Amino acid sequence: MRIRRALLFMPGDDRRKIEKGAVLGVDSVIMDLEDGVALNNKVAARSTAATALREVDFGGAEKLVRLNSAASELETDDLHATLPAHPDGYVLPKVEAAWQVQEVSAQIEHAEHEHGWPLGGIRVLAIIETARGIMNLREIAGSDPRLDALIFGAEDLAGDIGATRTPEGDEVFYARSAVVIHAKAFRLQAIDTPCVDLNDLDGLKAQTRTALQMGYTGKLAIHPRQVDVIQHVFTPSPEEIRRAKRLIDAHEAHQNAGTGVFELDGKMVDMPMVRAAKTLLARAHAAGVDPNNI
C-alpha cells in the first residue's frame, strides 16, 4: 500500500491548480468533483479532470478523483467520464454503507476488464462524515478488497449532528477515534480531517501531531501551503529513528541473552514498545528515508 501522508484537494475544474499540485511533491493529489466544483460546472470538471489525468505529469504523486456522493445522482457520470483516463484511485464522499463502496468497485472492475488493466489496481478511499457512516464503520471497513483507507470528515459530521466546531474538537473526538480504530482493525490507512484555517500553520502542526499520536497515517490538505507541514510531521525525524533502532537493538540483545522485559533509559521495555519502534521505522522507509543511513 502506497504512503499517503498528505492528500491535497484541487478543484477538478481548474487545470492550472491541478498542474500546481502535481509538482509539489505531495503524496496524493485529489481532483475534486464534489465540494470544490459549482453545480453548474460539474460536466466541465469531469472533462478537465479526465484530460489532466491523461496529460499532466504528476511525478510520483498518486492521482485520485473525488466523486460526487451516491445520493447526488452524479456519481455514475463522474465515473464514466474519468475511468477511461485511468486514475490511481477514487475518493468516495459521505459513505454510509458497504454497498456504496461495492457499487463503485464493481464499476471500476468492469473498466479494468474492458481495458485490460490489472484487476484491483485502481484503489478506493472512503470518507466517513455522517452519523450514519460512523454507526456503520464496521461494515464499511470490511466492504471491499479495493478499499485502502478510511478518511475522517469532521466538518460535514458536525453539520450532520448539529454540533458546533471548536478548535479542541471535543465534539467530534468519539468519531475521530472510531474511524482510526476501525481502519486499523481492518488493516486500512486512516486519513485525518483537514484543517480549515489556512493561515494557522502552527495549529495545523498541532492537529497533525495529534492525528499521528492517535494512529492516523495521513491528513487531508486543502491548500498547497499545508502540504510540507503535514508530510514533515508524518515523516519520522532522524532522532526518532535513532531511538527506535537503539530500542530494537537492545531488545534483540536481551532476547539473545534470555531476557524478556528490560530497562532502557530508565523505562521498562516490552513487546508493545518494540512493535511501536518497528512501526516507526516502517513509516520512515515508506517515506523514502533509509533508517540504515541515519
- The set of catalytic residues is 270
Backbone angles phi, psi at 246, to 5 degrees: -65, -40
CB 204 within 8 A of CB 163: no
* 16/4 Cα distance (integer angstroms): 23
Strands (E), 39-194: 62-66, 89-92, 123-128, 147-152, 189-192
CB 246 within 8 A of CB 277: no
Backbone angles phi, psi at 91, to 5 degrees: -105, 125
**How large is the angle between the packed helices 154-161 and 173-185, nearest 10 degrees?**
120
DSSP 116: T
Distances (CA, A) of 135 to 9, 139, 179, 215: 26, 9, 10, 20
| Strand partners of residue 190 | 150
SS3 (DSSP) at 123: strand
The length of the chain is 294
Query: Which among 52, 54, 55, 2 has a CA at the least distance from the CA of 27?
Result: 2
| Strand partners of residue 191 | 151, 218
